[in-house]
């Protein structure tokens, strides 16, 4: 288990992580979400002892790694897939990591096979694509067979096949009882991978919640209905106090009344329904609602309206929310 207590990191006048408390429990995949500059990488670096907290503590299974090299048997981490000497082969990179941690050569072959890099094991890492470098980084995480694994943006650069592979891998690692913390900006992927979420914004914890609860909490209580006679159904619903908005394709968007009540009213009044379903928010919608105030680096609306081909697209600029 990873446990942070009042964890704080300041760089000069900038507070990157602002007194956060959380636990990352074994047996599930915990997603770590937040806008650019929110403090995710800084938190991960403090977990690994690579950055020293300004205040507070963070431990892995009760151990504090500040100032120490964490043993690969305890913790595996993929922080920056490109941080490998480009002149080395994949095999030599993993072998030197293994040797420093008392891990035998046979294990290097096993993890290379596991990540699909056996055929390029003796090629220079400098010639690897980003996706191949990510796979090598993941091999490094698996090398010591640790109980705790951290992945910072692991699907970056992976093709759809690779994304599916890493999703399945993380879920199986968690199912084996490991603690798995993974950061990503890909909401659709997180929705399929994570069981639990930590959401951070401007260094503060915005949510520490099961994924399903976050989505339920941010879902509008809205029901979409399609009926053979939408005009008569609208009148019947409004007569009992429901709010009904009629969309351009004739779908009724109903609030103030649940799908059970609508179904029962329809049956009682002889309506033919073609569709009746609760509208739930996607993780992306829930995330935007949660982090809207915490986005520090935002593309101006004018740039978005100008479109991707415009020469006038400015770089993202810092705005204060």
Ligand X SMILES: Nc1ncnc2c1ncn2[C@@H]1O[C@H](COP(=O)(O)OP(=O)(O)OP(=O)(O)O)[C@@H](O)[C@H]1O
Binding test (CB under 6 A) with ligand X, winner from 11, 86, 159, 177: 11
Coil, strand or helix at 232 = helix
5/185 with CB nearer ligand X: 185
| Nearest approach, Cβ of residue 169 and ligand X (Å) | 22
Q: What is the DSSP letter of 183?
A: E
| Nearest approach, Cβ of residue 204 and ligand X (Å) | 12
40/95 with CB nearer ligand X: 40
- Residues whose CB falls within 8 Å of the CB of residue 30, separated by 6 or more in sequence, listed in order: 24, 179, 180, 181, 182, 194, 195, 196, 197, 198
Establish if 36 lies at the interface with ligand X (CB under 6 A).
Answer: yes
55/260 with CB nearer ligand X: 55
Q: Where are the alpha helices (DSSP H) in the chain?
A: 40-47, 90-100, 105-114, 130-142, 160-175, 187-193, 211-218, 230-239, 259-268, 283-291, 301-306
Cα–Cα dist 152/40, whole Å: 8
List, as own/partner pairs, every contact residues 306-312 make where C-beta atoms lie below 8 angstroms and the sequence separation is at least 24, other chains included: none
Establish if 157 lies at the interface with ligand X (CB under 6 A).
Answer: no
**Looking only at residues 42 through 81 of this chain, which bind ligand X when binding is defined by CB under 6 A?**
42
**Looking only at residues 12 through 31 of this chain, which bind ligand X when binding is defined by CB under 6 A?**
14, 16
Establish if 254 lies at the interface with ligand X (CB under 6 A).
Answer: no
| Piece of the chain touching ligand X by CB under 6 A; list 11-19, 86-94, 230-238, 246-254 | 11-19
Contact 93, 136 (CB under 8 A): yes
| Nearest approach, Cβ of residue 32 and ligand X (Å) | 9
| Piece of the chain touching ligand X by CB under 6 A; list 35-43, 73-81, 90-98, 157-165 | 35-43
Binding test (CB under 6 A) with ligand X, winner from 2, 20, 29, 38: 38
Cα–Cα dist 4/83, whole Å: 26
- Residues in contact with ligand X by the rule CB under 6 A: 11, 14, 16, 34, 36-42
């Amino acid at each position: 288990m990873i446990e942070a207590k009042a964890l704080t990191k300041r760089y000069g006048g900038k507070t990157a992580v602002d007194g956060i408390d959380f636990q990352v429990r074994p047996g599930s995949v915990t997603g770590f979400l937040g806008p650019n500059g929110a403090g995710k990488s800084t938190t991960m670096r403090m977990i690994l002892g690579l950055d020293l907290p300004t205040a507070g503590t963070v431990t892995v299974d009760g151990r504090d790694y500040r100032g120490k090299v964490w043993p690969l048997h305890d913790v595996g981490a993929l922080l920056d897939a490109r941080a490998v000497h480009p002149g080395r082969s994949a095999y030599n990179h993993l072998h030197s990591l293994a040797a420093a941690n008392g891990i035998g050569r046979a294990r290097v072959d096993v993890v290379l096979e596991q990540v699909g890099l056996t055929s390029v094991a003796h090629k220079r890492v400098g010639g690897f694509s980003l996706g191949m470098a990510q796979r090598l980084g993941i091999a490094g995480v698996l090398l010591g067979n640790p109980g705790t694994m951290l992945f910072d943006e692991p699907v970056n650069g992976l093709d759809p096949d690779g994304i599916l592979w890493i999703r399945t891998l993380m879920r199986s690692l968690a199912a084996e009882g490991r603690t798995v913390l993974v950061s990503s900006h890909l909401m659709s992927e997180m929705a399929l991978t994570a069981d639990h979420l930590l959401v951070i914004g401007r260094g503060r914890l915005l949510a520490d919640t099961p994924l399903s609860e976050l989505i339920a909490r941010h879902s509008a209580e809205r029901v979409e209905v399609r009926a053979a006679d939408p005009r008569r159904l609208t009148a019947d619903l409004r007569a009992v106090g429901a709010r009904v908005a009629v969309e351009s394709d004739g779908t009724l968007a109903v609030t103030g009344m649940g799908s059970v009540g609508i179904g029962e009213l329809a049956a009682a009044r002889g309506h033919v329904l073609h569709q009746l379903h609760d509208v739930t928010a996607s993780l992306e919608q829930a995330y935007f609602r949660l982090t809207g105030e915490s986005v520090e680096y935002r593309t101006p609306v004018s740039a978005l309206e100008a479109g991707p081909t415009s020469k006038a697209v400015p770089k993202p600029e810092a705005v204060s929310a």
